């Protein structure tokens, strides 16, 4: 038996970190994309620079399901350290491509898979003298072999090499040569062996491929961010690096000077301090971090909440607690973000699910933060931030204007008919009018503080004034529900009493699982949460259904907790489906879990605990 | 604290170049203890800003948490102020300065706020040479929490609580000089004649300017056993120099005879005229300054005045090549690359 599929399979590359495999694997992935077939690559990498195992999974998905599917149909096993594990992980009927310079150990005895031995090391020894070249071209050679095995258009690959090395032309012929070595070896030895095919389609349309962090960095440039204070931390580092790269491209003035300021700070506290200081002073500023940084920034987030200073923070979540698994994904900062800081604080969260949303929500986050004069945390995650994703293209409406919120000019200060108070709620939406330092010689100055203050920003220990101020912040919170992006609610069947709620990177795999269930006759309505505070429609959606699956990637069902807490709804109707193994949540597992739960089985909410038949990839 | 302040101002009170009197630079009534050194420093800030004819609204007052950090409420009421969180004034000021390079940033902190909880931020602020005035109101004691030793308390010095401090003190001036600060001074809250010109020089200096100002805590640390008391500091203070800041157009007169005058041009065109005893400290040489500070410590002296001056280094904006126009004044058109470039960018991702 062999797996046969066209444009619908999962291939996993097992490599050693630091050997140049990533660019070869990306080349394969992009080649599929350029043949018009949707593709979803995932890099599974260690917290290490060189030497530890790393995997790269590419899902070829004609139907455009971009979440993780689960299970592996084809393995390219280049890493001796994980050879056995990779071998065992393969689906029955799958294919195992390995370096046959050395033969496989005896215990590699599965008879339900197809071994494809290519003497990669030997081929490089025969063809190259330089050791680094041998290492790099080994990767290109297996890509060439895959092109033959999957019956891909070889020209797409050679064109990619030409694009990639447009500025280093002399590297083009040897790379194409390496592709040919692999292609020809496979052709001579494994004709007709592989049942998986990539065929040209027209299914990607105008889609782009980019990682979420780059999209976020670009969104910050378009959103008008000028000041960034930041501290490097995986997986958020590339957000600021991308911002700086694009700012250098788009934001240099006539005299060659930067229309932006990026400062690498001494720690995350300082990064948040800089962000607050710059926003207070009327620049759009942001920072990016991950879990440990969010913890460190919490005190400052409380200041920004209470002193009402706009802040944009990008939290690219990773596995916690503490250092956790720093190179593995999770959605486990939801509660830490939502209630960041001591005392009664609540923070606005925006939750993107793909690069296009990373771009849009980041640009929008500055509008939301300035409109509400409060921190806005963009809850991305490692899977979204660091992996390439196929996505709608970025769009910008040139008529769009930044919403700088309620800021008084010198002229407006002169024309005020009554006494101005920084925290006075004159419009009934809980939001006062602020001024930037330096606006007016005699009017509009005030003292910003994290201590209790009255409408005029003066220190107070008057209980009544303190309480009024805290209640006004609640009113502002109500305003936020309409300012932040609304949820995406879809009814597959208005009469159905079963629903699912998910957010961020749990969305793609969830939609796929539910499509599968719908094909089998189970219609489940969906609500994708895009922000916190929750829009009232989410509460209504919960009320309409009897069973609601909350699908997320953390141990403690954090979004479920947040929903119960904010809506005060019956806990028995909200059923968790959880994934905490550090890998993106898989569609097949969600589907199986829902099937079992709906059939009345008492099962664990964790997707890693499924039926024994499932191969745990 | 005092409960009342006279609102009477002399009708012929002197005016500065802007036509403002000193009253234009005052703040709210202080709530600190009567006799607190911090109030004297606040008054010196008022004097310096008045004499420099600074537009009050073009000044931002920054602080952390503590007695010292409350003082920005007591001067320059037409300036925006920011009382941030404990030990974090450096980062907030850095962000503010990045947003608008045209304002004058006066940061006020204490010894707890700077030398303990804020030490990390302080050191990195110095490294980046942010253009700001950083005044430490240094009393060697935690006032708001009622009398614990701070990290600048001298070893053996005892506060009102009576137990001598057991740990080595942090010398903020030495630390700042050792990592490249270009304007470092030490003064005493009770010496207005020295402090006001030091603040003026710090304002006009382009880059990070530190004034570590010993400021006795009358409530918890003004006893005979303390080395941060009025009496002790007066008895052990040793001035390295006196100076005045001279606007371009103004002639200088040197007060004391037997002194040598040295002129240093600052970036903004003003001149700093430094008078010092023959054979005394060469403040431009950082090694000799560090040595002098160590020697003074051995001799139980508090070396005051401008301790170190280096006008060669660029401030943060020059280091990172920021645009001359303040970033917070850039328009949407100057910031957003627009749809056409975005479409071209999309194309590169296919």
Q: How far apart are CA B349 and CA B338, in angstroms?
A: 17
Nearest to A226 among B78, B327, B345 (CB): B327
pLDDT at A558 over 60: yes
pLDDT at B5 over 60: yes
Do the chains contact at B100 and A283, CB–CB below 8 Å? yes
Q: What is the mean pLDDT of residues A129-157?
A: 95
Residue A30: closest C-alpha in chain B: B350
Residues of B in contact with A394 (CB under 8 A): 342, 345-346
DSSP collapsed to 3 states, A383-426: HHHHCEEEECCCCCCCCCCCCCCCECCHHHHHCCCCCCCCCCCC
Q: How confident is the model at residue A615 (pLDDT cuts 50, 70, 90)?
A: very low
% pLDDT > 90, chain B: 78
- Of B24, B31, B28, B29, the closest CA to residue B9 belongs to B24
- Of A456, A519, A526, the closest CA to residue A490 belongs to A526
Location of structure tokens 């041998």: A134
Do the chains contact at A261 and B55, CB–CB below 8 Å? no
Residue A300: closest C-alpha in chain B: B85
Do the chains contact at B57 and A447, CB–CB below 8 Å? no
Task: Give the pLDDT confidence score for residue B7 in this predicted structure.
Answer: 75
Task: Give the pLDDT confidence score for residue B226 in this predicted structure.
Answer: 93
Q: How confident is the model at residue B280 (pLDDT cuts 50, 70, 90)?
A: confident
- Of A55, A51, A56, the closest CA to residue A18 belongs to A51
Q: What is the mean pLDDT of residues B203-212?
A: 97
Do the chains contact at A398 and B338, CB–CB below 8 Å? yes
How many Cα atoms sit within 13 Å of A232 on the Cβ side? 4
Sign of CA pseudo-dihedral A451, A457, A462, A465: negative
Q: How far apart are CA B92 and CA A272, in angstroms?
A: 8
pLDDT at B249 over 60: no
pLDDT at A616 over 70: no
Q: What is the mean pLDDT of residues A488-497?
A: 97
Distance of residue A485 Cα from the nearest chain B Cα, in angstroms: 22
Residue B318 contacts A where some CB pair is shorter than 8 Å: no
Tens of pLDDT along A214-260?
999 999 999 999 999 999 999 999 999 999 999 999 999 999 999 99
Residue B23 contacts A where some CB pair is shorter than 8 Å: no
% pLDDT > 70, chain A: 99
Residues of A in contact with B102 (CB under 8 A): 438
Query: Between A and B, how many CB-CB pairs are < 8 A?
Result: 226
Nearest to B57 among A269, A275, A440 (CB): A440
Q: How far is CA A65 from the centre of its chain?
A: 16
Do the chains contact at A303 and B124, CB–CB below 8 Å? no
Instruction: Judge contact between A143 and A182, C-beta under 8 A.
Output: yes
> Which tokens is A90 given?
């393969």
Task: Give the pLDDT confidence score for residue B240 in this predicted structure.
Answer: 81
Do the chains contact at A209 and B92, CB–CB below 8 Å? no
Using a cut of 0.90, tell me whether the model's pTM lies above it.
Answer: yes
- Of A531, A502, A530, A463, the closest CA to residue A594 belongs to A502
**Where are the domain boundaries for CATH 3.40.50.920 in chain A?**
488-598
Protein fold of A5-197: Pyruvate-ferredoxin Oxidoreductase; domain 3 (3.40.920)
Residue B246 contacts A where some CB pair is shorter than 8 Å: no
Distance of residue A37 Cα from the nearest chain B Cα, in angstroms: 12
pLDDT at A47 over 50: yes
Instruction: Judge contact between B293 and B174, C-beta under 8 A.
Output: yes
Task: Give the pLDDT confidence score for residue A160 in this predicted structure.
Answer: 94
Tens of pLDDT along A337-352?
999 999 999 999 999 9
Do the chains contact at B88 and A218, CB–CB below 8 Å? no
Residues of B in contact with A438 (CB under 8 A): 57-58, 60, 80, 100, 102-103
- Of B192, B204, B190, the closest CA to residue B245 belongs to B204
Pick the CATH number of A488-598 from 3.40.50.920, 3.40.50.300, 3.10.25.10, 3.30.450.20: 3.40.50.920
- Of B44, B31, B35, B72, the closest CA to residue B221 belongs to B35
Task: Give the pLDDT confidence score for residue B144 in this predicted structure.
Answer: 92
Residues of B in contact with A222 (CB under 8 A): 336-337, 342
Residue B58 contacts A where some CB pair is shorter than 8 Å: yes
Tens of pLDDT along A86-106?
999 999 999 999 999 999 999
Tens of pLDDT along A353-410?
999 999 999 999 999 999 999 999 999 999 999 999 999 999 999 999 999 999 999 9
Q: How far apart are CA B335 and CA B188, in angstroms?
A: 46
pLDDT at B114 over 90: yes
Strands, E assignment, B56-155: 59-63, 80-83, 104-110, 132-138, 141-142, 148-149
Q: Which CATH class is domain B22-243+277-329?
A: alpha beta
Q: How far is CA A115 from CA A70, A87, A193, in A?
A: 21, 10, 9
Do the chains contact at B91 and A437, CB–CB below 8 Å? no
Delimit the domains of chain B by residue range: 22-243+277-329
| Across A40-44, B159-163, B205-209, least confident range | B159-163
Pick the CATH number of A210-391 from 3.30.465.10, 3.40.50.970, 3.40.50.1370, 3.40.50.720: 3.40.50.970
Neighbours of B11 (CB within 10 A): 6
Residues 63-102 of B with CB under 8 A from A: 72-73, 77-85, 88, 90-100, 102
Residue A450: closest C-alpha in chain B: B84
Do the chains contact at A269 and B84, CB–CB below 8 Å? no
Do the chains contact at A447 and B84, CB–CB below 8 Å? no
Strands A227-230 and A261-264, by their bridges, are: parallel
Residues of B in contact with A451 (CB under 8 A): 83
Nearest to A448 among B83, B102, B325 (CB): B83
Dmax over CA atoms of chain A, in Å, equals 89
Helical residues (DSSP H) of A75-119, grouped into ranges? 83-89
Backbone angles phi, psi at A418, to 5 degrees: -125, 170
Q: How far apart are CA A192 and CA A199, in angstroms?
A: 16
Instruction: Judge contact between A537 and A499, C-beta under 8 A.
Output: no
Q: Which residue has the higher pLDDT, B133 or B300?
A: B133
- Of A343, A338, A242, A326, the closest CA to residue A291 belongs to A326
- Of B61, B68, B64, the closest CA to residue B39 belongs to B68
pLDDT at B254 over 50: no
Residues of A in contact with B322 (CB under 8 A): 257-258, 260-261
Backbone angles phi, psi at A183, to 5 degrees: -55, -50
Mutation for B interface: A202, A274, A356, most B CBs within 10 A: A274
pLDDT at B25 over 50: yes
Tens of pLDDT along A562-584?
999 999 987 899 999 999 999 99
> Which tokens is A577 given?
């489906």
Q: How far apart are CA A80 and CA B308, in angstroms?
A: 61
Do the chains contact at B96 and A277, CB–CB below 8 Å? yes
Q: How confident is the model at residue B248 (pLDDT cuts 50, 70, 90)?
A: low
Q: How confident is the model at residue B261 (pLDDT cuts 50, 70, 90)?
A: low
Q: Mean pLDDT of all residues in chain B? A: 91
Residues of B in contact with A299 (CB under 8 A): 85
pLDDT at A612 over 80: no
Tens of pLDDT along A172-210?
999 999 999 999 999 999 999 999 999 999 999 999 999
Check if the interface score ipTM surpasses 0.90.
yes
Angle made by CA atoms B294, B300, B306, in degrees to the nearest 5: 55
Task: Give the pLDDT confidence score for residue B270 in this predicted structure.
Answer: 80
Q: Mean pLDDT of all residues in chain A? A: 96
Sorted by sequence, the CB contacts under 8 Å of residue A415 that are 6+ apart come out as none
Do the chains contact at B317 and A261, CB–CB below 8 Å? yes
Nearest to A445 among B78, B123, B124 (CB): B78
Residues 251-310 of B with CB under 8 A from A: none
Task: Give the pLDDT confidence score for residue A49 in this predicted structure.
Answer: 82
Residues of B in contact with A445 (CB under 8 A): 56-57, 77-81
Q: How confident is the model at residue B262 (pLDDT cuts 50, 70, 90)?
A: confident
């Amino acid at each position: 038996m062999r797996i046969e599929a066209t444009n619908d399979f999962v291939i996993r590359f097992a490599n050693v970190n630091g050997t140049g495999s990533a660019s070869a694997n990306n080349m394969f992935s992009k080649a599929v994309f350029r043949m018009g077939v949707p593709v979803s690559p995932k890099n599974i990498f260690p917290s290490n620079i060189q030497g530890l195992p790393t995997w790269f999974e590419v899902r070829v998905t004609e139907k455009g399901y971009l979440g993780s599917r689960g299970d592996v149909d084809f393995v390219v096993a280049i890493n001796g350290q994980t050879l056995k594990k990779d071998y065992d992980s393969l689906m029955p009927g799958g294919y195992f491509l390995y370096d046959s310079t050395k033969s496989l150990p005896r215990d590699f005895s599965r008879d339900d898979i197809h071994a494809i031995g290519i003497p990669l090391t030997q081929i490089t020894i025969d063809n190259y003298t330089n050791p680094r070249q041998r290492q790099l071209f080994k990767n290109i050679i297996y890509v060439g072999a895959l092109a033959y095995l999957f019956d891909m258009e070889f020209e797409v690959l050679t064109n990619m090499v030409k694009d990639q090395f447009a500025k280093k032309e002399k590297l083009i012929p040897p790379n194409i040569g390496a592709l040919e070595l692999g292609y020809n070896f496979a052709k001579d030895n494994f004709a007709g062996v592989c049942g998986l095919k990539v065929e040209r389609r027209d299914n990607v349309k105008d889609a782009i491929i980019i990682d979420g962090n780059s999209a976020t960095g670009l969104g910050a440039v378009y959103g008008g961010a000028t000041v960034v204070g930041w501290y490097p931390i995986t997986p958020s580092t590339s957000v600021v690096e991308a911002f700086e790269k694009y700012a250098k491209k788009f934001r240099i003035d006539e005299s060659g000077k930067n229309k932006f300021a990026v400062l690498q700070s001494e720690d995350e506290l300082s990064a948040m301090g800089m962000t607050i200081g710059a926003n207070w002073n009327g620049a759009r500023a942001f920072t990016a971090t991950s879990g440990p940084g969010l913890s460190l920034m919490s005190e400052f987030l409380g200041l920004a909440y209470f002193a009402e200073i706009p802040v944009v923070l990008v939290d690219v979540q990773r596995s916690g607690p503490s250092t956790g698994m720093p190179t593995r994904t999770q959605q486990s900062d939801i509660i830490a973000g939502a209630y960041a800081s001591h005392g009664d604080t609540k923070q606005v969260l925006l939750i993107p699910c793909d690069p296009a949303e990373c771009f849009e929500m980041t640009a929008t986050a500055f509008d939301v933060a300035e409109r509400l004069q409060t921190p806005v945390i963009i809850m991305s995650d490692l899977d979204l931030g660091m992996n390439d994703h196929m996505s709608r293209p970025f769009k910008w409406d040139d008529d769009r204007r930044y919403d700088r919120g309620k800021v008084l000019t010198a002229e407006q200060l002169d024309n005020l008919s009554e006494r101005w108070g920084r925290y006075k709620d004159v419009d009934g939406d809980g939001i006062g009018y602020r001024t930037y330092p330096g606006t007016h010689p005699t009017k509009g100055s005030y003292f910003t503080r994290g201590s209790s203050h009255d409408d005029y920003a003066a220190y107070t220990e008057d209980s009544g004034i303190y309480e009024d101020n805290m209640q006004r912040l609640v009113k502002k919170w109500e305003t936020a529900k309409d300012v932040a992006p609304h949820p995406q609610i879809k009814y597959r069947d208005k009469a159905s009493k079963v629903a699912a709620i998910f957010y961020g990177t749990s969305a793609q795999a969830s939609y796929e699982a539910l499509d599968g269930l719908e094909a089998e006759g189970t219609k489940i309505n969906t609500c994708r949460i895009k922000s916190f505070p929750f829009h009232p429609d989410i509460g209504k959606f919960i009320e309409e259904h009897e069973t609601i699956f909350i699908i997320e990637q953390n141990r403690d069902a954090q979004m479920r907790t947040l929903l119960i807490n904010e809506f005060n709804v019956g806990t028995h109707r909200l059923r968790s489906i959880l994934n905490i193994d550090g890998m993106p949540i898989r569609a097949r597992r969600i589907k199986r879990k829902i099937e079992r739960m709906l059939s009345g089985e008492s099962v664990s909410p964790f997707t890693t605990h499924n039926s024994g038949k499932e191969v745990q990839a | 604290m005092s409960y009342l302040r006279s609102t009477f101002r002399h009708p012929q009170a002197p005016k500065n170049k802007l036509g403002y009197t000193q009253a234009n630079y005052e703040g709210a009534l202080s709530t600190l203890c009567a006799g607190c050194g911090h109030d004297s420093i606040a008054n010196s800030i008022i004097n310096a800003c008045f004499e420099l004819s600074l537009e009050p609204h073009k000044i931002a007052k920054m602080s952390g948490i503590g007695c010292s950090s409350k003082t920005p409420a007591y001067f320059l009421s037409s300036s925006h102020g920011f009382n941030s969180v404990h030990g974090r004034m450096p980062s907030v000021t850095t962000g503010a300065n990045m947003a608008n390079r045209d304002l004058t940033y006066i940061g006020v902190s204490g010894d707890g706020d700077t030398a303990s909880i804020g030490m990390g931020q302080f050191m990195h602020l110095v490294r980046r040479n942010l253009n700001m005035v950083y005044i430490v109101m240094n009393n060697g004691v935690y006032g708001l929490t009622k009398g614990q030793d701070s990290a600048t308390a001298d070893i053996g010095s005892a506060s009102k609580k009576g137990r001598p401090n057991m740990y080595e003190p942090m010398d903020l001036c030495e630390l700042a000089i050792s990592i490249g600060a270009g304007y470092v001074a030490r003064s005493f809250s009770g010496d207005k004649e020295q402090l006001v010109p030091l603040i003026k020089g710090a304002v006009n200096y382009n880059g990070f300017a530190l004034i570590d100002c010993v400021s006795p805590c009358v409530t918890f640390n003004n006893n005979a056993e303390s080395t941060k008391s009025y009496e002790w500091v007066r008895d052990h203070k040793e001035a390295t120099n006196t100076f005045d800041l001279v606007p371009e157009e103004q002639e200088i007169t040197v007060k004391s005879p037997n002194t040598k005058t040295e002129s240093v041009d600052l970036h903004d065109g003003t001149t700093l005229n430094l008078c010092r005893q023959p054979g005394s400290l060469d403040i431009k040489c950082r090694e000799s300054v560090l040595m002098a500070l160590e020697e003074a410590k051995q001799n139980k002296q508090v070396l005051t005045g401008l301790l170190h001056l280096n006008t060669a280094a660029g401030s943060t904006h020059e280091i990172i090549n920021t645009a001359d126009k303040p970033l917070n004044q850039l328009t949407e058109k100057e910031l957003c690359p627009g749809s056409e470039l975005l479409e071209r960018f999309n194309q590169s991702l296919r």
